[in-house]
Structure formats: C-alpha cells, structure tokens
Structure 1
Amino acid sequence: MGMIDDLSTSLAGQVNQAAPFVVGVHTGHRPHSGILWRPDVVLASEQTLPRDLSGLSVLRGGQTVGASLAGRDTGTNVAVLKLATPLDGALPSPTPDTSPVGSLALILGADTAGHPTARLAMVHEVGEAWHSMAGGRIDALIRLDCRLAADEGGPVLTPSGALIGMSTAGPRRRTIVIPAATLARVVDPLLTEGRIARGWLGVGLQPVMIPDGFRQSSGRDSGLMVVSLASGAPAQLAGILPGDIVLDIDGTPVSRPRSLAASLGPDRIGQAVALRVLRAGALQTISVTVAARPAS
C-alpha cells in the first residue's frame, strides 16, 4: 500500500500546484473548463461555447472575472478568451514530448465555483499529426480512456505536472487531447486576428468509387465528386462543375474531403493548385487559385 499511498499523495500535490491555471468557463449555458494560459488569456474548447457569448465569465477559486471572446477556431477546437482583469498565480509548463500509451494522465477541470476537479485517466492511443474535418492540423493524436463532462477544455497533465494539452471530446465522444504544441501555435493568431485563415476552394465533395471503365485511364479507384459549388468561389471561377470527380491535387491522390482540406493550409492561400478531374469520362487538369475560407 505504500507505493499507492505515495502515488495518491503525489497526484494530489500536482492538482494543488495546477489549481492556479484551472478555471471554470461560464456562458449562461452548461459550464465547462479552461486553461489560464497567460495572466489575461484563457484557452477553452471551442465546441463548448455557444455563438452568443454576451454573458461570458471565468471563475477561479470562487473569484469571478469578466471575459470576452478574442478568437475561435473550429479546425483545432481552440477558443481564446481575454480577461477583463488578469489573474496571478502559476501558469502551465508544457511538456515537449507525447505521453506514451499506458501512461497516466491527470484530467483537471473546474466546478461551478471555479475550484479544481480531477480524474485519473490512461493514455489509450497515440499517433502522428492529423487533420480535423474542419481542416485544422493537430500536432499529435493523443486519446484517453475516459469520457468528459464539465471538465472539457481543462488541462491534461502528466503525473509529474507537465501540461500535455487541453481535453476535448472528439468523434464519437472519445476524449482526445489538443497537444500543448497546437495550443501554442494558434493562440497568438487567434488573439490578433480572431481566426485561423485556411485555404478554401468552395466545393462540396462526396467520396465515390471510379467506374470500372475509367480506373485504368485515371489511375485511381476512388475520388471526390463535386456535389455543390459556392457562388463566386475559387472552384467555380476556375470552371469546376458539379459532377466532376476530383482525383488528385498537385499530383497527390484525394479520396476523402479531409485529405483535400489537409492540403489547403494557411500557406496555400493565394497559390494555384492543380486539380485533376474526371469529367464525363475525360481527364482534365484545372488550375484553381486558393482563397482564404470566409469567416463563419
């Protein structure tokens, strides 16, 4: 029992040390949690915030501070809040490494008064960088073996107290961690611009199988059929038509909308990309100039 007691004491100590940068985020709806990233900046899970944030406030240790939305990004599921009054205390210390499968993770959150809550999880799965359906690049896949509640958006720590990242509910409500590296990369653009600009073609796409008679000539078994075009969007201006099947972009095969979105990062805005399409059985290559996705 000595080792378990020692572990319990150590974890309780880490929660106590982390308490200054664990906050509650209240919007007039269901409360959630956040991370005090800087004395006047809080990070939260974007998907937990309603569109109307007129009653936004942050609670820590029974203290309430007014807050305003500085920026939000659905691609990485990060929202940045600016505090009316800075909060003092310790700030998170990110870990440069991904926690391995089987390691323990502390999921912290805040109760309705802004006092810390905690639960112990295990790292269920890790993987390479990936792109969300909304086109955001997440620097590593980190999945935990638990479900979230009001602690969504709070910090996830190693047992030694280093910040792994921010908890959030991923696809099928599986708990994932937005790594600290991703948080650090998006916080300043969200503070200054309010959003993360990403490339946009303005097409609605549906995965399809290539008809047998065209597989050999196209060199592809599957592609993305254009099912809609935004008026005045780059794809429409370039001559893309409904029913076209996109086979690849700049020579890279695309079989899922996410793979196309992943190739349209901020650095591609203003650049031309070559879309190879199958149109009525004929192959064409169409140049499309990438634009910035319109603000939602």
Structure 2
Amino acid sequence: MNLESNPLQLHSQAIEAIVAAAKTRIVAIRNAAHRHVTGFVWHPDAIVASEQTIGERDEYEIVATNGHSYRAQIVGRDAGTNVLVLRPSERIDVSPYSPALPTLGGLALALAANVDGTPAVRIGGVRSVGDGWFSRAGGRIDQRITLDIRLHRTEEGGPVVDAMGALIGMSTLGRPGEVLAIPTATLDRVVPQLIANGRVARGWLGVALQPIAVPDALVEQAGQRIAMMVMSLAEQGPAATAGVTVGDILLTVDGIALRGMRPLAARLSEENIGQSVEVRLIRGGHILKLDAQIGTRP
C-alpha cells in the first residue's frame, strides 16, 4: 500500500506532529531523585501543575524535555480548582497555547513527563462534557470534562490537547477510575490570581457544618429532610456576627437547600463576596431567618 494513502500512517503522523509541538512545554517536577509529578509551562515565567500532587516544600527541581534542569518556587496554590503555579529560576520560552472547547467524542491527548523529563503521551477521547461545577473545596470549575484515558498519578497535571494541538485543559485524577481535565477557561481565570496573590479569594461564612436529619416534626415546615448542623463558629466571622449559634440547623442560604457542602460552596464563590444572604435555620424547634454578609475566607 502507498504510505501516502494509508489512513493509519497519516493518522499516526498527525499525532506525532501534535506531540512534537506540545512536548516542549512538559516538565517533570522532582522532589527526590526518583519521585516526580508532571507539570507544564503556562508562560515563560509560570509552570502549572496539579495542586493535589505537590507537597508543602517551597522549592522543587524542574526537568524539561531537553534535559535542562531548573529550580522552581511555588508562588500560589488553590485546592478548590486543584491548580498550583511555580516560578522557574529561568524563563522557559514557549509560544502561547490556543484554547480548545472540548467536543464529545473528540480526540484527546494527555501529555506527561517521565522522571528524567522525557515526554509521555496517553491517547483517548472526550468521554463527557458537562456544565460548570463546584469541587468539595469550593472551587468553581467551568466545565466537567471527563476523559476516556487511563492516567498514572505521576502523569497528572500535564496538558490535555485536541486533534489540532489546542489546549483542552490540565489532566487531573477525580474519583477512583475517573480522569478529568480542568478546563483552559478555569486556568485562564485562576492562574493570574495565583501569580498576583498566591491564592484565590473565596466567600466565607465562618461555620463548620455536619449533615443531619431534620426532626420529623419540622420536615413539612422545613421543606426538606436533610440539613446542616453548625458544629463550630469562627469568632467574629460572618455567621457569628449575624447571630448564628452552635447547634443551629441550617436549612437554606438564599433559598438554596443545604443537603451537603457543595450547594453552599456554589453560593460562596468569589463573585459573591460582600453580598448579603438570607440564612434560614432551625433553633429550639422553631424556624428562624437571619441575614449574613459573605466574607472573604481567611
């Protein structure tokens, strides 16, 4: 068969070209001689990685695909979106990524680094594309992108690109057996904040909560069977200032039923800091309403 008309060969060459163009951004982040995770160059002065894979050290060794070694310091991290930014000791010249919107069933290449910095790649597809969501740590992620790719823990944090080499997002491990991509739109929003401030500002009420069953006698009036009990309060925090006390059972915040932490996290996004919210709660067998102002999480 003529190689020029062999679709498998053409497909292989196309993938090779995508990997060749993207691999210069991949880095191994090493904290010991034989222990590493993956990151990638966001721009010449910033490396992005998965926050949940990086320890508490301030400085790490970075090894690029050409074997060159750098020192890099953490400048910011956000557990809510699982994004961490390091600043390399030297600029790493790269061209800007083109962002990609994921398409269901589209080709996805998850790039990673071996311990010596040499590149690795996993090939699969975009398994599902969902709406924006909030992590348990309160981070807003613009789309839920699930990949049909297996990923080793050392490969987490690399770029995921499409068939044109455009950036879908950063690979991350979700629930057991689940591989996600943190969308490029989320990285675009979070990385500048981490570089500028070292953190992402989030809303805060200053309460520690525990799910609890609503007393049977109040279920009909409350309109729900599960709520959240206040286990502790931050002194002079927004909830304490509003009059919430330990032992109160929170039903809703601005009409959003609290059956877990994620609905509350959604209301406490960074855009809502400073806003007033109505808190509906049970205290002493009675349903009360209080107004609280969303503060900034310390």
CA distance in 1, matches of 2:246, 2:175: 29
Q: Say which SS state the counterpart of residue 55 (structure 1) adopts.
A: strand
2:182 corresponds to which of 178, 181, 199: 178
> In structure 2, which of residues 40, 50, 75 is the aligned counterpart of residue 45 of structure 1?
50
Percent identity of paired positions between Structure 1 and Structure 2: 42
Partner of 2:112: 109
Letter of the aligned partner of 1:111 in structure 2?
A: N
Q: Which residue of 2 aligns with 1:288?
A: 292
3-state DSSP of counterpart to 2:279: strand
Give secondary structure in 1 for the equivalent of 2:271: helix
CA pair 67-58 structure 1, distance change in 2 beyond 3 A = farther
Q: Matches of residues 13-92 of structure 1 in structure 2 within 5 Å?
A: 13-28=17-32, 30-92=35-97
SS in structure 1 opposite 2:151? coil
Q: Does 1:143 align with 2:146?
A: yes
Q: Tell me how many residue pairs correspond in the alignment.
A: 292
**TM-superposition CA deviations, 1:164-195 (whole Å, max 9, x none):** 00001112252110000000011111101000
Residue 203 of structure 1 corresponds to which residue in structure 2? 207
Question: CA 1:199–1:89 in structure 2 vs 1: closer, same or farther (change >3 Å)?
Answer: closer
- What's 1:4 paired with? 8
Alignment of 1:189-268 (within 5 A): 189-268=193-272
Stretch deviating more after TM superposition (217-226 or 255-264): 217-226
Alignment-derived partner of residue 121 in structure 2: 118
> CA-to-partner distance for each residue in 1:130-184, whole Å, 9 max, x for gaps?
0000110000001112332222100001122111000011122521100000000
Gaps in structure 1 of 5+ consecutive residues: none
2:277 to 265, 269, 273: 273
For residue 86 of structure 1, report the CA deviation from its aligned partner.
Answer: 0.8
My pick for the range that moved more, 266-275 or 5-14, is 266-275
Helix, strand or coil: the match of 1:262?
helix
Q: What is the CA–CA distance in structure 2 between the aligned matches of 1:205 and 1:260, rounded to whole Å?
A: 10
Question: CA separation in 2, counterparts of 1:55 and 1:143?
Answer: 29
Structure 1 residues 194 and 104: CA distance shift in structure 2, 3 A: same
Distance of 1:92 and 1:22 partners within structure 2: 13
Aligned AA (2:84) = A
Distance 1:55 1:14 in 2: 28
Rounded to whole Å, the distance in 2 between the matches of 1:58 and 1:287 is 52
SS state at 1:15 partner:
helix
CA separation in 1, counterparts of 2:23 and 2:150? 21
The TM-score normalised by the length of structure 1 is 0.93
Cα distance in 1 for residues equivalent to 2:274 and 2:251: 22
> 2: CA distance between counterparts of 1:124 and 1:227?
40
Query: Partner letter of residue 194 of structure 2?
Result: L
Counterpart Cα distance in 1 of 2:133 and 2:41: 26
Q: State the TM-score, normalizing by the size of structure 2.
A: 0.92
Q: Shift in Å at residue 238 of structure 1?
A: 2.5
